[in-house]
Structure 1
Amino acid sequence: MAKLALGHHREATDPGCLRAVVAELLLTFLFVFSGVGSAMAAAKLGGGGDTIMGLTAVAAAHALVVAVMVSAGLHVSGGHINPAVTLGLAAGGHITLFRSALYAAAQLLGSSLACLLLAALTGGEEAVPVHAPAPGVGAARAVAMEAVLTFSLLFAVYATVVDRRRAVGALGPLLVGLVVGANILAGGPYSGASMNPARSFGPALAAGEWADHWIYWVGPLIGGPLAGLVYEGLFMGPPGHEPLPRNDGDF
């Protein structure tokens, strides 16, 4: 199993690291602008995420923009756009903790800029939607929901993008996006299905609403690293079986 790598402050001056941090800021900005913007558009057109059509539209928008942004950043920063993904990869030893902190700061800044710009462009006509548990869903259940959904997301990231033994290739980002969309359909009516502290941070900052914000840090930051540890510990070793021969003569 991979061990945590602390990293060094000299990473902050490395050109490759700086490019990656800027990429995370830009990619997260674009992701949140489209994701939150789709939720605002759904609300403006009627019903928002409270209707199956609105929920499906928001899920589809998130799935598409995640797939594109992960693909765009894959060979620059890894296309994390999510502190839970970053920490989940750090738990598996794929990124240093120091660089993880730089990524997370960039992701939070990108999300904040996107939501502040959305608020300015819409002129306050539609409130920036903030993640919060649905009525009747307590904080503990919302944390558990976010942890499970984020575990699912990170498991998909490891299986389709990180694990080089998988012959997924360019399909990896698309599959990650599909998991995000499916998780929004499954968990959106209950916890909001954030799976991403940065995705929740920007709207909370723009709206000035922090009452339940901690849920969207605790849940994802439990589920993400746990998925990294589980995948690294159970599935990143040597193959567990040999493929069956294709021809009778091979027996």
Structure 2
Amino acid sequence: MASELKKKAFWRAVIAEFLAMILFVFISIGSALGIQYPIPSDPTNATSTDTRPQDIVKVSLAFGLAIATLAQSVGHISGAHLNPAVTLGCLLSCQISILKALLYIIAQCLGAVVGTAILSGITTQISKNSLGLNGLSEGISQGQGLGVEIMVTFQLVLCVVAITDRRRNDVSGSAPLAIGLSVALGHLIAIDYTGCGMNPARSFGSAVVANQFTNHWIFWVGPMIGGAAAAIIYDFILSPRTSDFTDRIKVWTNGQVEEYEIDDDHARVEMKPK
């Protein structure tokens, strides 16, 4: 496991997750905050302002297209997980090592905090600025919110592990776009109930900068359960793998062999895991 730390490709992948997460948060949450930003209702009167209603379709597409764009940009470096639940799913499906999964999650959380902090500085004029904070809608219980997060994350991670299954040769079209559409779909479903916290790192960034952790556990437990369930069901029921437990242990401790089998000065991490 320690040998991974000596590989430049390993650290490039971790840095890519950090930087891509900053951009993802800036684009996605920025789209939601932009809707609430005070704008002149009368172009001739700059003191007259109006706040537009929330546009769920715009926000959902911003989240989905941001993921698709960044997956295309850094997918060959890190796989562009950009989500701890996706990282957990890839770990359980033996696509990355435990060490890489841990550092990915740390990088994702730090990137989310930085991205949210940048938005906080830009959107200071918004009154009661929530910074994209997730929360339960009126009438939604903790159990119901947890269920929503499990289901929307389940469909996302199922999409990821199925598309990136190395045994398949029938996948056509754009894998990043398909995953981005899955993210958009999850937001179209869940925004009205919980604000959609299918990305724990994204939820964490808003909670830290806003210093508001009410019901925050839901946005970690739900996505992680959904992501783990999707990976396990796909790997052991829908499309069982023939590799034995020993092979899985090797991947979890040393990573995928093909990630590091070429000269490190020209190394590129395969996009398969994301």
Whether TM exceeds 0.5 here: the answer is yes
TM-score normalised to structure 2 length: 0.79
Cα distance between partner residues in 1 of 2:238 and 2:74: 25
Structure 1 position 90, deviation (Å):
0.5
Other-structure match for 1:57: 58
* Unpaired stretches in structure 1, ≥5 consecutive residues: 1-7, 49-53, 239-251
TM-score normalised to structure 1 length: 0.85
Contact 2:88 2:228 in 1 (8 A): yes
With 9-18 and 80-89 compared, the bigger mean Cα shift is at 9-18
Structure 1 position 60, deviation (Å):
0.9
Contact 1:146 1:195 in 2 (8 A): yes
Other-structure match for 2:42: none
Other-structure match for 2:18: 25
User: Which structure exhibits the higher relative contact order, with contacts defined as CA atoms closer than 8 Å and separated by 6 or more residues?
Assistant: 2
SS at match of 2:193: coil
Cα distance between partner residues in 2 of 1:162 and 1:124: 46
What are the Cα deviations for residues 164-214 of structure 1, in whole angstroms up to 9, with x where unaligned? 414335511101111111111111101222211011011111111111111
Specify which of 133, 137, 151 is matched with residue 148 of structure 1.
Answer: 151
Structure 1 position 222, deviation (Å):
0.3
Cα distance between partner residues in 1 of 2:239 and 2:109: 30
SS at match of 1:186: helix
Specify which of 130, 138, 145 is matched with residue 135 of structure 1.
Answer: 138
1:205 aligns with 2:208: yes
What are the Cα deviations for residues 88-110 of structure 1, in whole angstroms up to 9, with x where unaligned? 11011111111101000000010
Other-structure match for 1:233: 236
Contact 1:161 1:173 in 2 (8 A): no
Cα distance between partner residues in 1 of 2:218 and 2:166: 30
SS at match of 2:164: helix
Structure 1 position 158, deviation (Å):
1.4
Describe the shift of the 1:79–1:97 C-alpha distance in structure 2 as closer, same or farther (beyond 3 A). Answer: same
Matches within 5 A, 1:1-251: 8-44=1-37, 45-48=51-54, 54-125=55-126, 127=129, 128-169=131-172, 171-237=174-240
With 169-178 and 132-141 compared, the bigger mean Cα shift is at 169-178
Letter of the 1:218 partner, please give it: V
Cα distance between partner residues in 2 of 1:195 and 1:162: 22
Letter of the 1:215 partner, please give it: I
With 109-118 and 62-71 compared, the bigger mean Cα shift is at 62-71
> For this pair of structures, how many residues does the alignment match?
226
Cα distance between partner residues in 2 of 1:174 and 1:193: 20
* Unpaired stretches in structure 2, ≥5 consecutive residues: 38-50, 242-274
What are the Cα deviations for residues 46-72 of structure 1, in whole angstroms up to 9, with x where unaligned? 222xxxxx1111001111101111122
Cα distance between partner residues in 1 of 2:75 and 2:160: 11
SS at match of 1:162: coil
SS at match of 2:139: coil
Cα distance between partner residues in 2 of 1:230 and 1:43: 40
Runs in 1 of length 4+ with deviation above 6 angstroms? none
Cα distance between partner residues in 1 of 2:91 and 2:143: 26
Structure 1 position 122, deviation (Å):
2.0
Contact 2:89 2:161 in 1 (8 A): no
Over the matched positions of the two proteins, sequence identity in percent amounts to 35
